Structure 1
Amino acid sequence: MSASLPRLSVLDLIPVRSGQSSVQAMAASVALAQTADRLGYERYWFAEHHNMPAVASTTPPVLIAAAAAKTERIRVGSGGVMLPNHAPLVVAEQFAALEALAPGRIDLGIGRAPGSDPVITQLLRISGPTADVDRFPDHIADILSLLSPDGATLRLTSGREYPITATPAATEVPTVWLLGSSDYSAKLAAQLGLPYVFANHFSGEGLERALDLYRTEYQPSDAHPDPQTFLTINAVVAPTADEAAERALPQLRSMARLRLGLPMRPLETVEEAQAAPYDSNAAELIDTMRKRWVIGDAASARASLAAFAARHGVDEVMVAPIAGSFAHEAAAASPGRVQTLELLAG
């Protein structure tokens, strides 16, 4: 990759477009992970979202295992596991197993948001009180202890100590990252001495303040003596600026629907997005989002990413390749997203 660019990584929500099955969407994303691996991208993360017609990334550990098995060198991870939906021990066991399957290649990104609507949130948490958000820092500490080779110790009501490990004989542990879009996550990551990622691809509001809080309040840890962070951004890159604008429209319209509280649907094709009307509220939202995303040809996109990284003092940017597809393109592939990664890599 060009020396003028920061290191590049990928965030994948596994988009599902109209006329596409989950089987086809998954196949397209695994192929995209292989492309990122071949092109030298740093890491490939899967998000956790639930019950969304346009998003198939519901189970990061399963997707990470699939991608790790089909790639050779790229780090694979979660962006992120929404911890209130899961028992800390289960998360620790899953990622300890992943680390054993792909040693030195696993990232455990952890978030505090539910990743879905209140109904799905209740279904995810029906088996127990794992959703106590106030205990989020304790649950992070539990996961860190459980993942370590020494494990954790539980003191039973009888007074007896009960040892617990996420895997019987760990030799390496995944890298734990805290994710968020608020001051809270930035301050907690700094307090715990953990790497941190601000969810800029979803909302750029508060980015500068979160980074400043993280960096100025950072408490060095043994594993991470210095603060470590990178930024996320939505990107659509094509041979021409016109094609990039066309391929960006389906995701822009989908995000506008989400922000306006409208019923969600599978991602439109480019032709469907161009033919469908939208009101002035959606148009205003789309114009605002378009200015925050990287949409353009290779030269302009690469320059924008380099300037973005320099402005915020990071040496890595994780792009969410959200290019839409034309109706004639194969359902089991995502040529617009592949094209984005290839053109950015140079």
Structure 2
Amino acid sequence: MKRSNAVRFAAVAAAGVLALTACDSAAEEGGDGGGEESASALQVGLAYDVGGRGDRSFNDSAYRGLSQAAEELGVETTDFEPSDGEADSAKEQRLATMAEEGFDVVIAVGFAYAEPLQTVAAEYPDVHFAIVDSEIEGMDNVTSLVFAEEQASFLAGAAAALTTEEDHVGFIGGVETPLIHKFEAGYVAGAEHVNEDVDVEIDYLSQPPDMSGFSDPAKGRELAQAQYDRGADVIYHAAGASGNGVLEAAVTNDFTFIGVDSDQYENAEENQKPHVLTSAIKQVDVAVFELIKAASEGGVEGGIQRFDLADGGVDYTQSNEEAISPIQDELEEIKQQIIDGEIEVPTKP
């Protein structure tokens, strides 16, 4: 396989002003005059990862779960946007502000919140915290929502190898971290499971502590163009909002795109849809909703909750029926082999 040096960008210093938006909620009708239901409702705050809402991926999935909770459970919800290049101190302040203002449940989206959340959760033991994509143990008021990204990525890699016409595919990661290595490892293993001679391009947009690789569609487009120029005709990304640029490159050059986290076929523009083969999804929306539901019923527990192929926590999408149907039987067979333990999917490249 080919691995080129990661594209590096300068980190943006200092955190910006906290941005906040209120989710639509039946419990919030009438502004300050929300009535008895609003006054008694569970208050839930959610802090987005790099890229924020509108990434058509990870953050948007979390927002769907939050919105569903507002609509179906009548909880009061508020979501908070990050600032580009912000320091951990800004994340810590964001979480502490929610706890101080009386939120019952505080949800942090993304592994970058791990250290700030542990600090704040220790200071507010009566508030229940949750974090997506990071394992935190030993804190009764913290729930970790983690996923077998490598399993869904294995199916993405298999789909890529089954559809490439050049035996040459690509992977673009946002930031080179252990979490995104899981996506890479699964994707490469899945592609090589189908075709051991397949050529796999691997590139990352940025290196820690620079997290801009998750929020730079222009660089995503540029890197996808470079992989295409080197011969890749199917490209899978795990790059958050930067993946929107990868999809733009797919349309411009007429190659195949594989999305991540959310169903990016459903979120695509009409002219983009034919280029989206599938997406390796993880049900962040379901995990967020179920956590809030448990809290509303008084039954939320701390600890680690894992979601994988066997329980539907991760999967591949079939929305583009015309594209996916010719290979669906093979993907379903591979999926069952993973569930049955016949295929062991690696978590490291």
Scaled by the length of structure 1, the TM-score of the pair is 0.30
More strand by proportion, 1 or 2? 2
Scaled by the length of structure 2, the TM-score of the pair is 0.30
